Amino acid sequence: MNPQARRWKCVCAYDGTDYSGWQSQVSGNAIQDLIEGALEETLGNPSRIHGSGRTDAGVHAKGQVFHFDASWKHGGESLRKALCTRLPQDIRVLDARVCPSSFHARISAKGKRYLYRAIEGSASPMEFRYWASLPVHRLDLDAMRMAATVLVGERDFSSFSASSGDSCDENPVKNLWQLDVRRTGKRLKIQVEGSGFLYKMVRSLCGALFDVGRGRLEVHQVKEILDAKKRTSLVVTAAPQGLCLEKVFYRKVKFRR
Amino acid sequence: MNPQARRWKCVCAYDGTDYSGWQSQVSGNAIQDLIEGALEETLGNPSRIHGSGRTDAGVHAKGQVFHFDASWKHGGESLRKALCTRLPQDIRVLDARVCPSSFHARISAKGKRYLYRAIEGSASPMEFRYWASLPVHRLDLDAMRMAATVLVGERDFSSFSASSGDSCDENPVKNLWQLDVRRTGKRLKIQVEGSGFLYKMVRSLCGALFDVGRGRLEVHQVKEILDAKKRTSLVVTAAPQGLCLEKVFYRKVKFRR
């Protein structure tokens, strides 16, 4: 790290529909690639950014966090604006501020909040990017909430993760604080909060809850699947477009803008 | 018209962001082109569709209406589904039914409702497709509503239309029933209803109202502009992405699905 460099913490939002996900890809069509490109243009030299975690292709974020080291001499607001002018409209940097060099977007994270949006029926042309469509019949919310109580708590979530090359060493025990199902008319929202999430865990939890709501899975089966600590074909991953990373939680530290 | 053909009335919705507008283009990237393509695939022969009117590039619709003649022997719902499977997700046919052969989507229309959406400040990555961004300061709603009362009624709207090649013979006198400005937090909605609209008329009316709200135009100037019956550079056309064609009104006729 350049001795004049400081660590920057940024919050960003994006519509993931047209991207291959957060993590850098050979194709260069990942959100990380675009932000690193904008950063290189702004700073005049390449800089690697570190996100709080990946989001899959098609998944959105309102509060993704990343950090990087750079010797930018101006303020956070001018850095934020400089990045925004170099990014497409569906990726926005919402905040940029100097943080302690001990801060790490992924390692320092204490938890995350996700929101999953689904419509019973077809999503309109203005909705299909942000709402998953569920086959038209009314889901059993009571059953879904019952299944949610089985899943909340400190548990081994191996059954609700998909294997991925680089996270095989990750501890599968996570603390799920909240799995809250709400309905307004034909719109369902599932708010998910926890200490951390395995690969595709949120979408797998939501997929299981939808199947409980449809009567394809019984609540006791959800308990059995969880206890088996092994993914089975009974667990379906819900569609990516319904998912949004709402917020990443950190211990309160004073940051300077 | 094939003697076995019947006239069909369809309602459709679209996100106009990625299209060159409603009307057929040499580029083939107009909404009309895509629907005619889907119709040709469905019917096995080309068929021209007639919309209630054009929408510009970037403008959306929740209730655009079109008609066409075809000898489709199945029901309206199967036609609707057949078209939807052949259209991209940002264009949906919501309804298809047989109508009297005297029905014409444009000529039979008795009125239209539009909604213009704007945010005071920046639109987020999930909003910029459907909300226009206004420079960050609070608009004067009372002044906007005062200006709206000047514009409502049967008037010559030449000052609020942009010339276009093929509508120069159109009668510029239209009956504007409603021009209603509402605010919720930083979100403004202008609902516009009238007997008919000249080219870019809704966006020009909204552009003038926003300028009144910002203090760039006085209410009496809006009256003078209207009375001049001639477009001036004082009238700015509001950005297309805020606009949505909500509904086309027709005299009640019995349609068969």
Write out the residue limits of the CATH 3.30.70.660 domain(s) in chain A. 110-246
B208-219 tens-digit pLDDT: 999 999 999 999
pLDDT at B28 over 90: no
Mean pLDDT of B200-224: 97
Strand pairing class (A60-70; A243-250): parallel
Reference B118, options B183, B171, B187; nearest CA is B187
Of A13, A124, A129, the CB nearest to B13: A124
Phi, psi at A155, each rounded to 5°: -140, 165
State the smallest CA–CA distance between residue B202 and chain A in angstroms. 20
Question: What is the predicted pLDDT for the residue at B2?
Answer: 66
**CB B13 within 8 Å of CB B92:** yes
State yes or no: is A56 an active-site residue. Answer: yes
Tell me the chain B residues in contact with residue A14 when contact means C-beta distances shorter than 8 Å. Answer: 125
* DSSP H/E element including B99: strand B91-99
A108-131 tens-digit pLDDT: 999 999 999 999 999 999 999 999
Q: Which two tokens stand for residue A211?
A: 């199947």
Residues 123-152 of A with CB under 8 A from B: 124-126, 128-130
Question: What is the predicted pLDDT for the residue at B20?
Answer: 95
Model confidence at A137, pLDDT cuts 50, 70, 90, reads: confident
Question: What is the predicted pLDDT for the residue at B104?
Answer: 97
B143-172 tens-digit pLDDT: 999 999 999 999 999 999 987 555 556 899
pLDDT at B17 over 70: yes
Annotated catalytic residues of B are 56
**CB B163 within 8 Å of CB B179:** no
Helices and strands (DSSP H and E) totals, chain B: 5, 10
Looking at the domain A110-246, which fold is it? Alpha-Beta Plaits (3.30.70)
Contacts across the A-B interface (CB distance below 8 Å):
40
pLDDT at A256 over 70: no
**CB B17 within 8 Å of CB B58:** yes
State the smallest CA–CA distance between residue A144 and chain B in angstroms. 28
Beta strands in chain A (DSSP E): 6-14, 50-51, 60-70, 91-99, 109-120, 132-134, 153-156, 173-184, 187-194, 243-250
Q: Which value does ipTM take for this structure?
A: 0.81
Decide if B62 and A15 are in contact by the 8 Å CB cutoff: no
CA distances from A7 to A23, A93, A220 (A): 20, 16, 48
Reference B176, options B131, B65, B159; nearest CA is B159
A180-211 tens-digit pLDDT: 999 999 999 999 999 999 999 999 999 999 99
More confident residue, B138 or A206: A206
Question: What is the predicted pLDDT for the residue at A2?
Answer: 66
Amino acid code (one letter) for B190: I
Per DSSP, helices labelled H in chain A are: 31-43, 76-86, 141-151, 201-214, 219-228
Mean pLDDT of B13-19: 96
Architecture of the B6-107 domain? 2-Layer Sandwich (3.30)
| Residue B42: DSSP 8-state | H
pLDDT at A55 over 70: yes
Question: What is the predicted pLDDT for the residue at A170?
Answer: 83
Look at residue A156 and give its three-state secondary structure: strand
B85 near A CB under 8 A: no
- Cα separation of A230 and A243, whole Å? 23
Q: Bridge partners of B50?
A: B67
- Cα separation of A199 and A178, whole Å? 18
- Cα separation of A117 and A140, whole Å? 16
Phi, psi at A81, each rounded to 5°: -65, -40
Angle at A30 between CA A29 and CA A35, to 5 degrees: 105
pTM here is 0.88
Model confidence at A4, pLDDT cuts 50, 70, 90, reads: confident
Dihedral of CA A204/A205/A206/A211: which sign? positive
Question: What is the predicted pLDDT for the residue at A77?
Answer: 96
Tell me the chain A residues in contact with residue B128 when contact means C-beta distances shorter than 8 Å. Answer: 89-90
Q: Which residue has the tokens 């199902």?
A: A181
B91 near A CB under 8 A: yes
| Mean per-residue pLDDT over chain A, rounded | 93
A37 backbone φψ class: left, alpha, beta (φ>0; ψ -120 to 50): alpha
A142-187 tens-digit pLDDT: 999 999 999 999 999 999 998 755 555 689 999 999 999 999 999 9
Model confidence at B124, pLDDT cuts 50, 70, 90, reads: very high
Question: What is the predicted pLDDT for the residue at A135?
Answer: 82
Of B60, B124, B128, the CB nearest to A126: B60
